[in-house]
Amino acid sequence: MGNNEHIVNNPLRALGLEKNAKEDGSQAIMGLVMARAGLGKTAILVQFALDCMLLGNKVLHVSIGEGVEKTRTWYDDILSLLTDGEKIESIPEIMKNRMIMTFKESSFNKALLEERLDDLVQQNIYKPECLIIDGYDFENNSKESLEEMRNFMHERGLKMIWFSAVSHRGDERVSVDGVPAPCHEVDSLFETVLSIKPEGDDMMLDILKCDDCAMDPGTTLKLDPSTMLIQKG
């Protein structure tokens, strides 16, 4: 199966970030998807991950607080929507580009991730090029920890790291760029910040910040509310 079949409507292309996934890591980006709980952050992260995988990159999906099985299901569900019911396992050339690591909320930190990654890279088991970190605790981690993650991305030659963050309805703190709490004080560390927002029956993906994007901040992409796929056009 040709990969092009799947990347017709990919989110990286929609944002104009495809080049960052294709290049050698010199234009690495750190991205963030924010939303209130249960609005579909993981679905968006998995779309980015699938995009990276289809472009031939190895993705390490770090899931904090979720199991391997649930994370796998996300990939199967999204890929199944993009194709005709295909599962990741049935496409070996995509499957080999994904590894999932799950941690408990209380135990995850950069040092542990680094140790695990060393295990993989030094033994030549898996060398990730894109990192997905779903469930990072922005409320209880300092700006320094995130800076460390950013340095880590550069040191390891990663092309991109995508985080998800939960925003809360009652918390109205925002940064100058409009990035809501709890990420309002760390938004300078991210090249791209997206926010999922329901509008009536629709779901929108607001581009709050996007240094490398083809689109200007303030632009909104429409999501299919039943599938959370970014809609064409």
Partner 1 sequence: MNKDLSKVRNIGISAHIDSGKTTLTERILYYTDKIHAIHEVRGKDGVGAKMDSMELEKERGITIQSAATYCTWKDIEVNIIDTPGHVDFTVEVERALRVLDGAVLVLCSVGGVQSQSITVNRQMTRYNVPRIAFINKCDRTGANPERVTEQLRDKLDLNAHMMQIPIGLENDLVGMIDLITMKAIYFEGDSGEKIREADIPEDMMDDAVEKREALLEEISMFSEELMEALLEEGDVDVKLINEAVRIATLSLDFTPVLVGSAYKNQGVQLLLDAVESYLPCPTDVTNMALDLKDDEKEFPVTNDPDDPLIMLAFKLEDGRYGQLTYIRTYQGTLKKGDTVYNNRTGKKVKIGRLCRMHSDEMQEIESCGSGDIVALFGIDCASGDTFSSSEISCSMTSMHIPEPVISLAVIPADNKAQINMSKALNRFTKEDPTFKTFVDHETGETIISGMGELHLEVYVERMKREYDALVEVGAPQVAYRETISQRAEFNYIHKKQTGGSGQFGRVGGFMEPIEDEEYEFVDKIVGGVIPREFISSCDKGFKKSLKKGSLCGAAITGVRCVINDGAFHAVDSSDVAFQLAAAGAFREGYLKAKPTIMEPIMKVAVEGPTEYQGAVMGSINQRRGMIIGTTEEGSYSVIEAEVPLSEMFGYSTTLRSLTQGKAEFTMEFATFKPVPKSVSEELIKAYQEERKNG
Residues in the site for partner 1, rule: CB under 8 A?
66-72, 89, 92, 95-96, 99-104, 107, 112, 116, 118-120, 123-126
- For residue 182, is the peptide bond before it cis, meaning its omega torsion is within 30 degrees of 0? yes
Taking the complex as a whole, how short is the minimal distance between the CB of residue 98 and partner 1, in angstroms? 8
Nearer to partner 1, 69 or 84 (CB): 69
Taking the complex as a whole, how short is the minimal distance between the CB of residue 9 and partner 1, in angstroms? 27
Burial class, 15, CB count within 10 angstroms (exposed 0-12 / middle 13-18 / buried 19+) = buried
Taking the complex as a whole, how short is the minimal distance between the CB of residue 131 and partner 1, in angstroms? 15
Taking the complex as a whole, how short is the minimal distance between the CB of residue 222 and partner 1, in angstroms? 31
Nearer to partner 1, 99 or 204 (CB): 99
Angle CA(137)–CA(156)–CA(42) in degrees, nearest 5? 35
Nearer to partner 1, 126 or 152 (CB): 126
Nearer to partner 1, 89 or 211 (CB): 89
Taking the complex as a whole, how short is the minimal distance between the CB of residue 93 and partner 1, in angstroms? 12
Nearer to partner 1, 102 or 167 (CB): 102
Beta strands 192-199 and 160-166 are: unpaired
205: which strand partners?
196, 221
Taking the complex as a whole, how short is the minimal distance between the CB of residue 197 and partner 1, in angstroms? 28
Nearer to partner 1, 32 or 100 (CB): 100
Cα gap 145→86, rounded to integer Å: 38
